[in-house]
């Protein structure tokens, strides 16, 4: 059984349609929205939480649901998840939205072999933009910056929901040669915004498993970034140059100072000099007893201990979100 309601999240403000499938024996439904993807919500959430959202909250929710729904199973919303989303979450920065748009174009053109005739109805939710007007502005800017190629559509095919006026859409959207080079570099993971780099002492029996079991998974789950160290980098070449490239292209650098490793301090300085967000971590006892080098001990340092990984995880993610404006 299904009917054709308005999506309680995006309200189909940018068009598209939504289907509702009541879940058997439960006061809950699965929604299938052209913009937000597939998600589940209880009757209570639908009644008490969705109606009071403002437009930015709707855009954020729509984007997160869309990302989750691309992973398969319909995502079940809960009051706790919504609370966390609206107190800690935000849409990607405009720069990241633009990078997402270029990536979407590259993926789509690669798949179909043809330029994009018209951006899909849910494009703003896919790239994390507040609305379609923003996507159109970003498209224009990416064309000006010679990342995208696109032709203005002669006939107006969509209406600005804010003003009711027809708006200029684009057709024949693809990447320029520069755009493709960027796209391919990104596919290789060498593009800012894809990964973080961790500088640390290797082969320590306590730190190694802590980084593998706690730090890397926390970063992946908390903000969706891979965290790589030099050992994950398998390209051949001069090790110093590879490291510089890895740091240069990383979105942020985490430096573990537990062992006062000179290499880690050097990497921290290099990253700071490039203006990267650098975040220091240190084993708790070492930090309390010996502090770290005087140049860094006033910087944000998140301390860790094997026995209290949960606190560390939370503090690390909160600090990363702040540094990266997530
Ligand atoms: Zn929707």
Pick the residue with more confidence: 73 or 221?
221
Confidence band (pLDDT; 50, 70, 90) for 1?
A: very low
What is the whole-number distance in angstroms between the Cα of residue 91 and the centre of ligand 1? Answer: 16
β-strand partners of 170: 152
What is the whole-number distance in angstroms between the Cα of residue 173 and the centre of ligand 1? Answer: 25
Tokens, residue 205: 């029996």
What is the whole-number distance in angstroms between the Cα of residue 63 and the centre of ligand 1? Answer: 9
CATH 3.40.50.450 intervals, the chain: 195-324
What is the whole-number distance in angstroms between the Cα of residue 293 and the centre of ligand 1? Answer: 51
What is the whole-number distance in angstroms between the Cα of residue 61 and the centre of ligand 1? Answer: 9
What is the whole-number distance in angstroms between the Cα of residue 193 and the centre of ligand 1? Answer: 27
**Burial of 57 by CB count in 10 Å (0-12 exposed, 13-18 middle, 19+ buried)?**
middle
CATH topology (fold) of 94-187 = Arc Repressor Mutant, subunit A (1.10.10)
For the CA atoms of 100, 105, 111, 116, what is the dihedral angle to 10 degrees?
150
| Beta-sheet strand order (sheet of 18-22) | 18-22, 28-33, 37-42, 75-76
Tell me the C-alpha distance between 310 and 304, whole Å.
Answer: 9
φ/ψ bin of 178: left (φ > 0), alpha (ψ from -120 to 50), beta (otherwise): alpha
What is the whole-number distance in angstroms between the Cα of residue 141 and the centre of ligand 1? Answer: 27
Tokens, residue 129: 């933009």
Confidence band (pLDDT; 50, 70, 90) for 55?
A: very high
Reply yes or no on whether the pLDDT at 237 is more than 60: no
What is the whole-number distance in angstroms between the Cα of residue 34 and the centre of ligand 1? Answer: 7
Tell me the C-alpha distance between 180 and 174, whole Å.
Answer: 9
What whole-number percentage of the chain has pLDDT above 90? 54
Reply yes or no on whether the pLDDT at 286 is more than 50: yes
Reply yes or no on whether the pLDDT at 19 is more than 80: yes
What is the whole-number distance in angstroms between the Cα of residue 65 and the centre of ligand 1? Answer: 9
What is the whole-number distance in angstroms between the Cα of residue 10 and the centre of ligand 1? Answer: 4
Mean pLDDT of 241-250: 82
What is the whole-number distance in angstroms between the Cα of residue 17 and the centre of ligand 1? Answer: 8
What is the tens place of the pLDDT at every residue in 165-223? 888 899 999 999 999 998 887 766 545 557 899 999 988 999 999 999 899 989 988 88
Per-residue b or e along 206-243, where b marks 16 or more CB atoms closer than 10 Å to that residue's CB? ebeebbeebbbebbeebbebebbbbeeeeeeeeeeeeb
Tokens, residue 119: 């951006």
Tokens, residue 201: 């002492």
What is the whole-number distance in angstroms between the Cα of residue 127 and the centre of ligand 1? Answer: 14
HEC secondary structure over 53-117: CCHHHHHHHHHHHHHHHCCCCCEECCHHHHHHHHHHCCCCCHHHHHHHHHHHHHHHHHHHCCCEC
Please give the mean pLDDT across all residues of the chain. 87
What is the whole-number distance in angstroms between the Cα of residue 295 and the centre of ligand 1? Answer: 49
**Burial of 269 by CB count in 10 Å (0-12 exposed, 13-18 middle, 19+ buried)?**
middle
**CATH-assigned architecture of domain 195-324:** 3-Layer(aba) Sandwich (3.40)
What is the whole-number distance in angstroms between the Cα of residue 39 and the centre of ligand 1? Answer: 9
CATH 1.10.10.10 intervals, the chain: 94-187
What is the whole-number distance in angstroms between the Cα of residue 106 and the centre of ligand 1? Answer: 25
Per-residue b or e along 101-128, where b marks 16 or more CB atoms closer than 10 Å to that residue's CB? bbbbbbebbeeeeebbeebebbbbbbbb
What is the whole-number distance in angstroms between the Cα of residue 164 and the centre of ligand 1? Answer: 20
What is the whole-number distance in angstroms between the Cα of residue 235 and the centre of ligand 1? Answer: 43
What is the whole-number distance in angstroms between the Cα of residue 3 and the centre of ligand 1? Answer: 15
Tell me the C-alpha distance between 208 and 205, whole Å.
Answer: 6
CA-atom Rg of the chain in angstroms = 23
What is the whole-number distance in angstroms between the Cα of residue 41 and the centre of ligand 1? Answer: 12
Per the CB < 8 A criterion, the answer to whether 264 and 255 are in contact is yes
Tokens, residue 143: 């064309």
What is the whole-number distance in angstroms between the Cα of residue 19 and the centre of ligand 1? Answer: 10
What is the whole-number distance in angstroms between the Cα of residue 159 and the centre of ligand 1? Answer: 18
Tell me the C-alpha distance between 139 and 152, whole Å.
Answer: 11
What is the whole-number distance in angstroms between the Cα of residue 33 and the centre of ligand 1? Answer: 5
Alpha-helix residue ranges (DSSP H) falling in the chain? 43-48, 55-69, 79-88, 94-112, 123-127, 132-144, 177-187, 207-210, 216-223, 239-249, 262-273, 284-290, 309-324
Tell me the C-alpha distance between 97 and 92, whole Å.
Answer: 6
Pick the residue with more confidence: 133 or 87?
133
Tell me the C-alpha distance between 82 and 45, whole Å.
Answer: 10
């Amino acid at each position: 059984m299904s009917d054709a309601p308005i999506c309680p999240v995006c309200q189909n403000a940018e068009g598209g349609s939504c289907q509702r499938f009541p879940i058997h024996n439960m006061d809950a439904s699965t929604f299938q929205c052209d913009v937000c993807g597939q998600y589940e919500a209880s009757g209570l959430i639908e009644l008490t939480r969705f109606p009071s959202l403002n437009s930015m909250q709707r855009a954020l929710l729509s984007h997160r649901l869309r990302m989750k729904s691309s992973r398969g199973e319909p995502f079940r919303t809960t009051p706790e998840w919504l609370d966390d989303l609206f107190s800690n979450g935000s849409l990607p920065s405009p720069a990241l939205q633009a990078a997402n748009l270029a990536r979407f174009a590259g993926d789509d053109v690669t798949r179909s072999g043809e330029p994009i005739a018209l951006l899909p109805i849910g494009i703003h939710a896919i790239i994390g933009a507040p609305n379609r007007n923003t996507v159109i502005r970003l498209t224009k800017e990416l064309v000006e910056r010679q990342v995208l190629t696109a032709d203005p559509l002669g006939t107006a095919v969509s209406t600005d929901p804010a003003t009711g006026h027809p708006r200029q859409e684009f057709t024949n959207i693809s990447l320029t040669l520069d755009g493709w080079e960027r796209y391919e570099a990104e596919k290789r993971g060498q593009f800012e915004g894809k990964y973080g780099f961790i500088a640390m002492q290797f082969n320590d029996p306590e730190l190694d498993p802590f980084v593998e079991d706690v730090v890397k998974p926390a970063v992946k789950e908390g903000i969706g970034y891979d965290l790589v160290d030099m050992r994950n980098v398998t390209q051949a070449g001069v090790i110093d140059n590879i490291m510089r490239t890895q740091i240069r292209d990383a979105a942020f650098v985490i430096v573990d100072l537990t062992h006062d490793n000179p290499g880690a301090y050097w990497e921290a300085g290099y990253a700071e000099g490039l203006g990267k967000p650098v975040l220091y971590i240190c084993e708790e006892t070492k930090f309390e007893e010996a502090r770290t080098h005087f140049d860094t001990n006033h910087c944000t340092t998140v301390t860790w201990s094997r026995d209290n990984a949960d606190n560390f995880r939370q503090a690390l993610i909160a600090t990363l979100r702040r540094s990266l404006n997530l």
